[in-house]
């Protein structure tokens, strides 16, 4: 994957935006269990009372509370509240909320910061518990005996005694002793549980003030629920936005990769095509890039989101229930073990799958392109078996991977369910022992779910990442291939008074990876206005010679010159711009006859097209079609005959009006009459061009100004027809095998 990371650079802005959105989304999702905890703990259990620092309280209540506070805490509490008298201007603002203000002075909490409230929370909670305990002791003498301290025994107070007035007269040390005795009863409870217990007293105080406590509870639940709904909507917006951005990044990366692979393959010479078969290049340009698009989308979506959710969930879960951290730790370790085990089994198979897809494409391509030959030799059964073998191999590997991956999901769900049961079991005991609130246990369970699901998401990434990694390497292999034929750093120009003289000077050539040369010390000069023909037995190197001229391959030794300039000193574009090339097999592209002819010159006039068609002896079947030049050509030219396809290929080269023409065994698909007529027309219209013809027909080369006879990659004869009939035994043998002496001498 790292080998193609540069393709992500154009999308770094979108990628950064996606990461920011994922961070926001993860934090929003992680906050939902906390709000659920608040609804349960505060909204339901605490009746909507959020903290132990009341919004308002009776004057007598505050005076009772400060009896059991330190001097600093008392000062802080008094500073946090303002006493409001009935009938005062300030009372009008609060009387609706606190009806008791009509008849009695109350303390209303000032607009103080949350930090200040948090500082007052613990002292207020403990003071509330002490006051509550003392109030219960006044009603129950048995409890009073447990709460005295030192010389002051609460159980011996006479009935009707104003306890708090009497306590106010005691020394601070004795009050602290009473407070300590009472707080000892709550020593096993944490601050949260002390606060939750003290909230009951705050609720009682609100009821004493005449407040509607039920409305307070419902308002809190509705308000918190609305916040959760807004968080969910914001998370959904982030999800949609990240999905859009990830799709854009993945699609753009795939488009760029396909484009670059296509451009790279267009620059390949024969040596590179030998290294990468056509079927493999098709697979790399389609299936492999599809794999990368999919993994790119998943990576943008999950590679940051899942870790943030996992780590954030662990931190928040421990904050909710630090005593249960081990449940998540065990589950995470088991999950990691399963993922690593599955990947170690499946990864080798992922590396094989893409090669098997190559093989399947190769067999299918050969079957489709060679269907007529297969039927002619009644080899359908053999080819079906060959295809079945490739298909079964691919299916077997795919099924093996699918079975391994199918095992992983149920195992993870089983771990998730077991973890849920364990958390509920342990958490219920923690709640029973007053070490945890019910809402916190529910939040812990949800965080545990989020942690496990983050691992599930990462496991999905692990499923597709190995295969995508293989695909990325295969694509990188193509993109990083060093071209054997390149343009010079400082190219020369062929423009100007270019004549088209082609010279081979001691040229030898061997195919890449071969041990021996296929051409040996070839030398000749092809001049403008003349036809230079190459003839010889099959495999003698005729096509190889002419394929060196447009630099489909580069010479191993020697040099090829055009107008005295080495063709390796000019750009491939300039070189090929001077050549009209017709290959052995006529290649047409889907479109129309006109679009195929304009392949040579996009701005060619209608007259030029018609002239080229006439010279190529194709006007008869072109004009016979009602659409003429606009007649449709199917893929590969399959809706025209081999001879028609070849003539249209010749016409396409003629449209170019090039100074050099190469006909690589082009006339083999033509009958002798059409061949003769075409050569006569060519001679008249290309009299200033250099013509190079590869053929096995002596009749085609009889009138050529120069004939080069090849045998096993060597020049064994060079001259015109008459000279070679006298001096070259190889040419004589070829000529006499095709024509009679009378035909040869005519």
Distance CA 658, CA 562 (A): 14
Q: Indicate if 68 and 170 belong to the same structural domain.
A: yes
Q: What is the mean pLDDT of residues 544-555?
A: 91
Residue-level pLDDT at 150: 44
Over residues 184-193, the pLDDT tens digits come to 655 555 566 6
51-55, 165-169, 610-614: least confidently modelled range: 165-169
Q: Indicate if 536 and 615 belong to the same structural domain.
A: no
Inter-residue contact 197 to 189 (CB < 8 Å): yes
- Number of helices (H) and strands (E), helices first, in the chain? 29, 15
Residue-level pLDDT at 184: 61
Final residue belonging to a domain, choices 211, 232, 253:
211
Residue-level pLDDT at 140: 61
Residue-level pLDDT at 329: 82
Over residues 494-520, the pLDDT tens digits come to 766 888 899 999 999 998 878 899 999
Q: Does any domain span residue 487?
A: no
Over residues 170-180, the pLDDT tens digits come to 666 666 666 66
Residue-level pLDDT at 188: 56
Q: Indicate if 572 and 698 belong to the same structural domain.
A: yes
DSSP letter, residue 584: S
Q: Does any domain span residue 91?
A: yes
Q: What is the mean pLDDT of residues 704-725?
A: 91
Output 107 or 687, whichever has higher pLDDT.
107
Distance CA 365, CA 355 (A): 15
Q: Does any domain span residue 389?
A: yes
Q: Does any domain span residue 258?
A: yes
Q: Indicate if 348 and 411 belong to the same structural domain.
A: yes
CATH of the domain at 320: 1.20.1560.10
Q: How many domains does the chain have?
A: 4
Q: Does any domain span residue 340?
A: yes
Q: Indicate if 733 and 604 belong to the same structural domain.
A: no
Over residues 640-678, the pLDDT tens digits come to 888 888 889 999 999 988 899 999 888 777 777 888 888
Residue 149: pLDDT band (50, 70, 90) is very low
Is the whole-model pTM more than 0.75?
no
Q: Indicate if 448 and 464 belong to the same structural domain.
A: yes
Q: Indicate if 607 and 572 belong to the same structural domain.
A: no
Distance CA 548, CA 540 (A): 15
Element (H, E) at 198: helix 191-208
Q: Does any domain span residue 721?
A: yes
Q: How does the average pLDDT of the chain come out, rounded?
A: 84
Residue-level pLDDT at 151: 42
- CA angle at 537 for the pair 532 and 543, rounded to the nearest 5°: 50
Residue 139: pLDDT band (50, 70, 90) is low
Final residue belonging to a domain, choices 430, 451, 479:
479
Buried-state track 74-84, b at ≥16 Cβ within 10 A, e below 16: bebbeebbeeb
Output 348 or 266, whichever has higher pLDDT.
266
Distance (Å) of CA 295 to CA 256, 287, 402, 465 = 16, 13, 17, 6
Domain that holds residue 556: 494-578+660-746
Q: Does any domain span residue 485?
A: no
Over residues 464-488, the pLDDT tens digits come to 777 788 788 888 888 888 888 888 8
Residue-level pLDDT at 561: 93
Q: Does any domain span residue 484?
A: no
In this predicted structure, the answer to whether residue 137 has a pLDDT above a threshold of 80 is no
| CB atoms closer than 10 angstroms to residue 163 | 15
Q: Indicate if 69 and 128 belong to the same structural domain.
A: yes
Q: Indicate if 525 and 648 belong to the same structural domain.
A: no
Percent of the chain at pLDDT > 70 equals 90
Q: Indicate if 544 and 693 belong to the same structural domain.
A: yes
Final residue belonging to a domain, choices 158, 191, 211:
211
Q: Indicate if 227 and 186 belong to the same structural domain.
A: no
Q: Indicate if 80 and 185 belong to the same structural domain.
A: yes
Over residues 291-319, the pLDDT tens digits come to 888 888 888 888 888 888 888 888 888 87
Over residues 32-90, the pLDDT tens digits come to 988 888 888 888 888 888 888 898 999 888 888 887 788 888 889 899 999 999 988 88
Residue 259: pLDDT band (50, 70, 90) is very high
- CA angle at 64 for the pair 61 and 68, rounded to the nearest 5°: 135
CATH of the domain at 646: 3.40.50.300
């Amino acid at each position: 994957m790292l080998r193609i990371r540069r393709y992500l650079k154009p999308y770094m802005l979108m990628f950064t935006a996606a990461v920011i959105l994922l961070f926001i989304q993860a934090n929003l999702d992680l906050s939902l269990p906390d709000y659920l905890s608040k609804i349960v703990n505060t909204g339901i259990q605490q009746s909507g009372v959020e903290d132990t620092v009341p919004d308002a309280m009776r004057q007598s209540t505050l005076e009772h509370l400060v009896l059991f506070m330190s001097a600093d805490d008392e000062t802080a509490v008094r500073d946090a509240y303002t006493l409001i008298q009935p009938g005062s201007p300030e009372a009008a603002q609060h009387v609706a909320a606190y009806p008791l203000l009509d008849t009695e002075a109350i303390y209303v909490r000032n607009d103080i910061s949350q930090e200040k409230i948090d500082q007052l929370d613990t002292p207020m909670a403990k003071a509330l518990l002490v006051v509550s305990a003392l109030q219960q002791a006044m009603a129950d003498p048995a409890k009073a005996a447990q709460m005295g301290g030192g010389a002051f025994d609460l159980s011996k107070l006479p009935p009707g005694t104003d306890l708090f007035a009497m306590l106010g007269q005691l020394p601070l040390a004795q009050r602290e002793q009473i407070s300590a005795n009472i707080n000892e009863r709550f020593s096993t409870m944490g601050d949260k549980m002390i606060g939750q217990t003290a909230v009951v007293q705050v609720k009682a105080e609100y009821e004493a003030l005449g407040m509607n406590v039920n409305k307070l509870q419902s308002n809190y639940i509705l308000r918190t629920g609305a916040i959760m709904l807004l968080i969910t909507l914001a998370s959904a917006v982030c999800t949609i936005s990240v999905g859009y951005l990830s799709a854009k990044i993945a699609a753009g990366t795939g488009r760029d990769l396909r484009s670059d692979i296509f451009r790279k393959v267009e620059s390949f010479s024969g040596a590179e095509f030998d290294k990468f078969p056509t079927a493999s290049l098709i697979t790399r340009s389609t299936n492999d890039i599809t794999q990368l698009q999919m993994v790119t989308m998943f990576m943008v979506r999950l590679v940051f989101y899942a870790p943030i959710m996992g780590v954030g969930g662990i931190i928040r879960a421990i904050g909710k229930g630090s005593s249960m951290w081990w449940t998540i730790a065990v589950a995470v370790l088991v999950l990691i073990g399963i993922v690593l085990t599955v990947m170690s089994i499946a990864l080798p198979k992922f590396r094989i799958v893409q090669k098997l897809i190559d093989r399947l494409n190769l067999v299918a391509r050969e079957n489709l392109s060679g269907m007529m030959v297969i039927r002619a030799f009644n080899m359908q059964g053999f080819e079906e078996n060959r295809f079945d073998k490739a298909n079964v191999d691919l299916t077997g590997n795919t099924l093996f991977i699918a079975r391994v991956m199918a095992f992983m999901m149920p195992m993870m769900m089983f771990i998730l369910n077991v973890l849920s049961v364990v958390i509920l079991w342990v958490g219920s005991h923690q709640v029973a022992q007053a070490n945890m609130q019910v809402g916190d246990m529910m939040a812990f369970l949800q965080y545990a779910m989020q942690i496990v699901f983050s691992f599930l998401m990462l496991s999905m990434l692990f499923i597709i990442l190995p295969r995508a990694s293989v695909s990325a390497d295969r694509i990188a292999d193509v993109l990083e291939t060093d071209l054997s034929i390149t343009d010079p750093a400082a190219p020369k120009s062929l423009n100007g008074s270019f004549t088209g003289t082609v010279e081979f000077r001691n040229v030898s050539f061997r195919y890449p990876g071969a041990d021996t040369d296929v051409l040996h010390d070839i030398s000749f000069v092809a001049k403008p206005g003349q036809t230079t023909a190459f003839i010889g037995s099959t495999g003698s190197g005729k096509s190889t010679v002419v394929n060196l001229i447009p630099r489909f391959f580069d010479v191993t030794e020697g040099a090829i010159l055009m107008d005295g300039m080495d063709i390796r000193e000019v750009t491939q574009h300039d070189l090929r711009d001077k050549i009209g090339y017709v290959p052995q097999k006529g290649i047409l592209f889907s479109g129309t006859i006109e679009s195929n002819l304009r392949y040579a010159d996009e701005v060619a006039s209608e007259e030029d097209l018609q002239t080229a068609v006439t010279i190529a002896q194709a006007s008869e079947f072109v004009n016979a079609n009602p659409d003429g030049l606009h007649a449709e050509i199917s893929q590969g030219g399959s809706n025209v005959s081999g001879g028609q396809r070849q003539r249209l290929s010749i016409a396409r080269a003629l449209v170019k009006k090039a100074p050099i023409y190469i006909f690589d065994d082009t006339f083999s698909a033509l009958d002798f009459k059409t061949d003769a007529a075409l050569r006569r027309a060519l001679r008249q219209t290309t009299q200033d061009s250099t013509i190079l013809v590869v053929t096995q027909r002596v009749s085609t080369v009889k009138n050529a100004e120069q004939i080069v006879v090849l045998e096993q990659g060597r020049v064994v004869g060079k001259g015109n027809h008459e000279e070679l009939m006298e001096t070259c035994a190889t040419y004589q043998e070829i000529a006499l095998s095709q024509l009679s002496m009378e035909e040869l001498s005519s």
